[in-house]
């Protein structure tokens, strides 16, 4: 990639964990990438700081109450300033953008991703909920508009890399690795009393609060199973999860001849981010290397779906299909928010999600409007129970 072939990127959720690490990748290779747009939900001061450093064409703050503050802070800069969620959906359609990094948290990432695909933009997908809720719809749009969807999640990036060069070779199984989170060895009784502070301490990865809680409850891995189905065209029976506490192997692919390919690396999200942005080129980096003299133990174990029922609920939602993954996601978002506010116990999240899946009307072939309605109804119902 040369100066004349710079890729112009928009980062949705630039102040979050994935967003800030994407900007570190830009810092690593300013000759390859140019920032066109930055968006944030609420962290206006961080957005101002980023805007001054990277001088994008435009910035958007989703929280309209902070629009005037943002506009005033950047009035001496030649940067267009917008406010509101609709502005995010519109900015992704801008002509000069080559790649949209969707690092928004939760269901809010769906519509901007759809608008970016319709505008013909490549998607560097870090918002797994988009594929969980509307994978079939996203795939249809991506095919129609000839848009590549490049996975940023370390697990899906690993599978993507393992499949490179395999052409039509038959895949027997995808094997997603999971760290097991901070409560891997906890008993059911211990899980009843875990605190927010304990749940936010992930043993290997540095992530935002929502995804860290999802990792602790194994819902994150459940979402990844659903996402893998849509990204790689596999059914639920061909997607396995294995607990690998060291987080060195990021995922594996088993082929029809029995061969297993694995992608290994340090637990650093900048690596899959950079691969998604530069694909099919592998750019050099100064990031830490994997040292096999220090990586002397790689262990594996089966996930315990009795202690961590969220993973089982995700498989169930995937098997049912239709609007059930949407119910799973909406109920989970409400439950995680309530747990972070210490309104419910850690173990109550799974119970409420399962109840929501049993209570919401099932639709086999939902439209986007159906999914939006399912999301609203599920949130209202679970919030009522809490």
Number of domains in the chain: 2
CA angle 35, 38, 40 (to 5 degrees): 160
User: Are 117 and 216 found together in one domain?
Assistant: no
Which residues make beta-bridge pairs with 151? 125
Percent of the chain with pLDDT strictly greater than 90:
91
User: Are 195 and 222 found together in one domain?
Assistant: yes
Residue 205: the pLDDT is 61
Reduced 3-state DSSP string for 251-270: EEEEECCCCEEEEECCCCCH
Q: Tell me if 368 is assigned to some domain.
A: no
User: Are 70 and 139 found together in one domain?
Assistant: yes
Domain end: 151, 177, 203, which one?
Answer: 151
Token code pair at residue 187: 């008993």
- Which domain, by its residues, includes 82? 3-151
How do residues 129-167 score in pLDDT, each as one tens digit? 899 999 999 999 999 999 999 999 999 999 999 999 998
Reduced 3-state DSSP string for 125-190: ECCHHHHHHHHHHHHHHHHHCCCCEEECCHHHHHHHHHHCCCCCCCEEEEEEEECCCCCCCCCHHH
Residue 3: the pLDDT is 47
How do residues 22-50 score in pLDDT, each as one tens digit? 999 999 999 999 999 999 999 999 999 99
CA angle 94, 100, 102 (to 5 degrees): 130
Residue 209: the pLDDT is 86
User: Are 120 and 207 found together in one domain?
Assistant: no
Which residues make beta-bridge pairs with 217? none
């Amino acid at each position: 990639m040369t100066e004349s072939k710079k890729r112009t990127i928009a980062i949705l959720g630039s102040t979050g964990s994935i967003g800030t690490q994407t900007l570190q990748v830009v810092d690593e290779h300013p000759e390859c990438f140019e920032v066109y747009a930055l968006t944030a939900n609420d962290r206006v001061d961080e957005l101002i700081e980023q805007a001054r450093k990277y001088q994008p064409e435009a910035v958007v703050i989703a929280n309209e109450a902070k629009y005037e503050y943002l506009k005033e802070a950047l009035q001496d800069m030649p940067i267009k300033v917008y406010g509101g969620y609709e502005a995010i959906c519109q900015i992704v359609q801008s002509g000069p953008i080559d790649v949209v990094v969707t690092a928004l948290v939760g269901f809010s990432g769906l519509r901007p991703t759809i608008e970016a695909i319709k505008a013909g933009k490549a998607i560097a997908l870090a918002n797994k909920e988009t594929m969980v809720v509307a994978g079939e719809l996203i795939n249809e749009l991506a095919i129609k508009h000839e848009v590549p969807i490049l996975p940023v999640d370390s697990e899906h990036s690993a599978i993507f890399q393992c499949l490179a060069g395999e052409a039509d070779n038959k895949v027997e199984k995808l094997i997603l690795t999971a760290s097991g989170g901070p409560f891997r060895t906890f008993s059911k009784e211990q899980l009843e009393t875990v605190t927010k502070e304990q749940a936010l301490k992930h043993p290997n990865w540095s992530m935002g609060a929502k995804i860290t809680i999802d990792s602790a409850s194994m819902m994150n891995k459940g979402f990844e199973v659903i996402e893998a189905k849509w990204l790689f065209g596999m059914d639920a029976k061909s997607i396995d999860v294995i607990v690998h506490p060291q987080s060195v192997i990021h995922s594996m692919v088993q082929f029809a001849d029995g061969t297993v390919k694995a992608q290994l690396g340090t637990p650093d999200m900048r690596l899959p981010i950079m691969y998604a942005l530069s694909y099919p080129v592998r750019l050099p980096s100064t990031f830490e290397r994997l040292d096999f003299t220090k990586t002397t133990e790689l262990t594996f174990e089966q996930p315990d779906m009795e202690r961590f029922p969220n993973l089982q609920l995700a498989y169930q939602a995937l098997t049912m299909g239709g609007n059930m993954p949407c119910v799973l996601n909406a109920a989970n978002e409400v439950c995680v928010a309530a747990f972070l506010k210490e309104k419910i116990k850690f173990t109550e999240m799974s119970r409420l999600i399962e109840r929501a899946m049993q209570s919401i009307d099932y639709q086999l072939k939902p439209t986007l409007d159906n999914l939006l309605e399912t999301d609203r109804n599920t949130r209202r119902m679970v919030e009522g129970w809490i």
